[in-house]
Amino acid sequence: MTKIGYALVGAITGVLVLSGGRFAFGAVIGLVIALLLAELRELSSRVRRLENKPLPPSKTATGPVPAASAMDDEPSSVGEQVAAVPDAAMQSTEAEPSDAIPAFGRKRTPPEPNPIVEKVKEWFTTGNVPVKVGVIVSFFGVAFLLKYAVDRNLLNVPMWLRLVFAALFGLVLLVIGWRLRHRMRVYALSLQGGGVGIIYITIFAAFRLYGLLPPLPAFLLLALLTIPAVWLAVVQNARAMAVLAVTGGFLAPVLASTGQGSHVALFSYYLLLNVAIVGIAWFKSWRELNLVGFLFTFGIGVAWGYKYYDAPYFSSTEPFLIAHFLLYQAAAVLFALRQPPKLRGLVDGTLVFGTPIVAFGLQSAMLRHTDYGLAYSALLLAVFYGALAWWLTARGKALGLLRDSYIALGVAFATAAIPLALDARWTASAWAMEGAALVWLGARQSRLLARVAGGVLILMAGAAYVNGGWDHNAGVPLVNANVFGGVLLSLAGFFSARQLGRMEHVLERIAAVLLLGWGIAWWCITGGLEIDDRVRHMYEYPVLVSFFVVSGAVLGLVARKLDWTHARYGALVMLPLLFVTALGRSFFGGHPLESYAALPWLAAAAAHLYVLRPITTGTVVSRTWHVAGVLFFAWLVAWELDWWMVVETWSNTAVSLWLAIAGLACWLLRPVFSWPLQVERPAYLVAAAVLLALNLLYIFGFSIDAPGNPLPLPYLPILNPYDVVMFAGLAASWLWIIEAAQQWPSQDRQRRAYIVLGTAAFVLTTLAVVRGVHHLGNVPWRHYSLTRSVEVQAALSIYWGLLGFAGMVLGTQRARRWLWLTGAALMALVVVKLFIIDLGNSGTVARIVSFIGVGALLLVVGYFAPAPPRQPVSEEG
């Protein structure tokens, strides 16, 4: 309907509403509101047409400019037709400069003017301006004349006769508009729209305002008026008139309602109107008509349901809900099919997505007291949309967007049906499978949205599983909802990680790693909980170790078969899981090989090497896991040895010897095991260094803590258990330095290593001397007794003096000044100790022995070991 039609209808409405002596004011208000509504409608229509037009060519167009009517069946006014040519011309003239001028050289585009102001200016300056202004001025003149006559009682006409005259006036406008439809199309449509509006308002005023018509006749008149109005709109290709006619048809029962009617009659009447709308959609792609019907049908339906619906009404309302749902889905499909060739497949999102959302919301309110009603409804909708998408697939690629929309709706309702019918664990299972399928479909069809939706659905499945909790009485072991749900969550994560790992975007590769971790986590959690539920307590530990070993090995095998890089690294998580398992066992006072766990741990060592074999040699991950594996399994053996040895001395001895042997084996067995000892030589040298360093720290710890009573054997200096393992640890560390020095680029690192080892040897041998004095001199093994013992102090002075003497002699013989200085410093320390500590023990044989022995050593040193020169000739020997 054109602006003139809107103006007439608005003004007359204002007159009728404000007829009590203020009809001129009401006419102005109605006129302004109607014109604003008309302008807004035209702006929306214009923006939609501009959005649907193809982009301008890169060069100046040489062909004819397409007419504006190609995008719309009916211009809104003559002004729009006139303005179409300048707009098109402007687009063609601006096309070339946009390519010729660089982006950084263009002038700043001025801000666009207010579209409403421009449209109002255009309305008053283009088109048939005299007709527009004449209608408005004439209307005001007639309004003023009527007001003058009423105020002075010049017109004493009954109200029913006024309404008849108004209806006749509307009918006259319809007739004149029909006769002028070929010569002056826009003008004729304006008159027809105004005539229809006047007749609608007249009938409403006769019923509602003045009570001259009963409800039923008023409703029938309003409804019957819709038929000729729609016929006029379709015959003349007048979209706006069709909207006006349908609006009047939907408002008829509302305007004529007394609150006492039948909802069956109301919905039956609306059903007929919607059938008519779908019939029009078969021939015309009029989106506004579809939207008006959709809004009125479901809007009034929701209002009625909120106020009146009750459970007994279900059988009389459900058929109407289904029928209206199907009609507007048909309208959405017809809208896409009836577009021009370049726009074929255009999707009306309001109908496509709004209809199922509103309809399912109404259905949920109607079925809220049932157990599975909504689940069946969602499942039927999923099947319906799946079938519709399959049908659209055969209609060509142009309808691909509509098909994808229906696929998404089908997936959504299938997803919603699951929690409505099943418990949380089965819901999680179904959602996990559905999410994996979406990820696969998105990867196969290169659809990012599908991949994202699949990943989110998998996460939702995990949340649903957690929300349902773990049922400790789930039934048959391994074949129950607990295991089924957890395994499906895990497999969905693995499968989706495999699909996303093939994508090129870095974020999707990160998502693939996260989903792989998701799969591993759910697999391990499900297996651990099931073992805790089903296995006797004494066998839980070895079964859990076996479960992790088999899982890691299988994942490594799958990674090799599929050449799956992420899974290769994912299999490495087996080692941390085994560590956590063993650590947890140690908290309960157990030991690694209890309950027949020896075989699982041997298998764990083999599986660890198996999953490490495909990892690229020399990488940080490879070296870290080789070192971690050596340390972990060495710790397991040490833990088992400590558990088996009851006596502390022999337990410490066994553990220390094992650490030394394990450290030596990391390179001594290289000829036997070229892989991994030779291939990953740097990693195993690091592992050996850590083991040997830990061994020396361990020896230091138990040497301070206990004297090392070798019962049932007698104590023998140097040959007692603690001294043996001390010398073994020092010797192994010395051999490691010799082996590692082959890879060191300079002598400085080797020298620093010897200094560290020498310091460790000095500390440990000093403790050995103190331990010998304890056993041979019967000095109590207490800090106070040892520090106050004359025998201990004398033994330390002699021992340190001998060490200093040896350092000075060797430094002189080998011309190594640093070694000589080290020996001299030690001799100086002994002298200081003699005068500060030993001198206090006056009158004792130990003090005499200390002074004489150290003095003799100093005399010998002065003869055999003078200080070497400051610049040694060579330090390479």
pLDDT in tens, 5-17: 555 555 555 444 4
Confidence (pLDDT) at 34: 55
**What tokens were used for 856?**
């003799």
Q: Note whether 336 and 402 are within 8 A (CB).
A: yes
Confidence (pLDDT) at 104: 41
* Residue 115: CA count within 13 A, CB half-sphere: 10
**Residue 302 within any structural domain of the chain:** yes
Of 248, 121, 135, nearest in space to 190 by CA:
135
Which has the higher per-residue pLDDT, 145 or 630?
630
Which has the higher per-residue pLDDT, 55 or 757?
757
CA distance 61 to 59: 6
Domain count of the chain? 1
Average pLDDT over residues 463-474: 84
Average pLDDT over residues 631-643: 95
**Residue 754 within any structural domain of the chain:** no
**Residue 364 within any structural domain of the chain:** yes
**Residue 353 within any structural domain of the chain:** yes
Confidence (pLDDT) at 774: 92
Chain-wide mean pLDDT for the chain? 77
CA distance 770 to 788: 12
Average pLDDT over residues 58-74: 40
Q: Does 862 score more than 60 pLDDT?
A: no
**Residue 266 within any structural domain of the chain:** yes
Q: Does 316 score more than 60 pLDDT?
A: yes
Average pLDDT over residues 790-817: 82
Give the pLDDT band (50/70/90) at residue 419.
confident
CA angle, 295 as apex, 242 and 351 as ends, to 5°? 90
Q: Does 269 score more than 80 pLDDT?
A: no
Confidence (pLDDT) at 41: 60
Q: Does 616 score more than 70 pLDDT?
A: yes
**Residue 325 within any structural domain of the chain:** yes
Give the pLDDT band (50/70/90) at residue 62.
very low
pLDDT in tens, 109-124: 555 666 666 766 665 6
CA distance 834 to 846: 11
Q: Note whether 256 and 310 are within 8 A (CB).
A: no
Q: Does 79 score more than 50 pLDDT?
A: no
**Residue 308 within any structural domain of the chain:** yes
Confidence (pLDDT) at 875: 45
Confidence (pLDDT) at 103: 42
Which has the higher per-residue pLDDT, 309 or 624?
624
Confidence (pLDDT) at 290: 81
Q: Does 742 score more than 60 pLDDT?
A: yes
Which has the higher per-residue pLDDT, 298 or 86?
298
Percent pLDDT > 90 in the chain is 28
Which range is least confidently modeled, 212-221, 353-362, 402-411, 557-566?
Answer: 212-221
Give the pLDDT band (50/70/90) at residue 876.
very low
Confidence (pLDDT) at 153: 66
Give the pLDDT band (50/70/90) at residue 130.
low
Confidence (pLDDT) at 239: 73
Give the pLDDT band (50/70/90) at residue 857.
low
Of 614, 408, 615, 439, nearest in space to 519 by CA:
439
Q: Does 331 score more than 50 pLDDT?
A: yes
Q: Note whether 765 and 726 are within 8 A (CB).
A: yes
Q: Does 632 score more than 90 pLDDT?
A: yes
Q: Does 53 score more than 80 pLDDT?
A: no
Of 811, 822, 820, nearest in space to 877 by CA:
811
DSSP one-letter string for 229-277 = HHHHHHHTT-HHHHHHHHHHHHHHHHHT--S-S-HHHHHHHHHHHHHHH
Which range is least confidently modeled, 76-80, 147-151, 392-396, 743-747?
Answer: 76-80
Percent pLDDT > 70 in the chain is 69
CA distance 358 to 365: 11
**Residue 152 within any structural domain of the chain:** no
Dihedral angle computed from the Cα positions of residues 287, 289, 292 and 298, in that order, rounded to the nearest 10 degrees: -80
Confidence (pLDDT) at 811: 80
Give the pLDDT band (50/70/90) at residue 280.
confident
Confidence (pLDDT) at 847: 52
Q: Does 106 score more than 70 pLDDT?
A: no
What element of type H or E holds 734? helix 721-740
pLDDT in tens, 826-846: 877 877 777 677 555 544 555
pLDDT in tens, 170-195: 677 677 777 767 776 666 666 666 66
Q: Does 598 score more than 80 pLDDT?
A: yes
Q: Which domain holds residue 355?
A: 262-413
Which range is least confidently modeled, 116-120, 477-481, 640-644, 861-865?
Answer: 861-865
CA angle, 810 as apex, 807 and 812 as ends, to 5°? 105
Average pLDDT over residues 761-782: 92
Q: Note whether 696 and 729 are within 8 A (CB).
A: yes
Give the pLDDT band (50/70/90) at residue 449.
confident
Q: Does 85 score more than 50 pLDDT?
A: no
Give the pLDDT band (50/70/90) at residue 665.
very high
Q: Does 70 score more than 50 pLDDT?
A: no
* Of the ranges 43-47, 232-236, 469-473, 843-847, the best mean pLDDT one: 469-473
How many residues are listed for the chain in this entry?
A: 877
Which has the higher per-residue pLDDT, 98 or 404?
404
Q: Note whether 688 and 666 are within 8 A (CB).
A: yes
Give the pLDDT band (50/70/90) at residue 764.
very high
Q: Does 326 score more than 80 pLDDT?
A: yes
Confidence (pLDDT) at 162: 67
